[in-house]
């Protein structure tokens, strides 16, 4: 299945962190973030990263273990969650 253009914004093809800055630039989101990028900012917590985007979307990515969990809350109130199945021994 080909990802939609909207999903590519939040799930880029590359797992690399977006080009970022360690301090906010003019026009960036204000707040206690660890890094800023074009269109948003991120704060790391133990085991997760919390992203805030300029359009009001918030994404939480938790992947410290062998599984992945992502929750996206869009500015219009809709939410999407993705949970990777954990393998059974």
If pLDDT is split at 50, 70 and 90, which confidence band does 19 have? low
In the predicted structure, residue 17 carries a pLDDT above the cut 60: no
> What is residue 15's DSSP assignment?
-
pLDDT reported for residue 22: 74
Separation between Cα atoms, residue 60 and residue 27, nearest integer Å: 23
Question: What is the arithmetic mean of pLDDT over 71-77?
Answer: 92
Separation between Cα atoms, residue 28 and residue 20, nearest integer Å: 11
pLDDT digits 0-9 by tens, 26-56: 778 888 899 888 888 999 888 888 999 989 9
Asked if residues 44 and 51 have their Cβ atoms less than 8 Å apart, the reply is no
In the predicted structure, residue 78 carries a pLDDT above the cut 90: yes
Question: What is the arithmetic mean of pLDDT over 62-83?
Answer: 85
Separation between Cα atoms, residue 38 and residue 23, nearest integer Å: 12
Give the global pTM: 0.68
Percent of the chain predicted with pLDDT > 70: 70
């Amino acid at each position: 299945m080909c990802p939609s253009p909207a999903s590519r914004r939040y799930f880029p093809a590359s797992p690399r962190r977006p080009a970022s800055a360690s301090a906010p630039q003019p026009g960036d989101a204000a707040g206690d973030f660890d890094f800023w990028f074009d269109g948003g900012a991120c704060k790391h917590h133990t085991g997760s990263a919390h992203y805030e985007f300029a359009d009001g979307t918030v994404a939480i990515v938790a992947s410290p273990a062998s599984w992945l969990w992502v929750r996206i809350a869009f500015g219009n109130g809709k939410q999407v969650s993705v949970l990777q199945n954990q393998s059974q021994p």
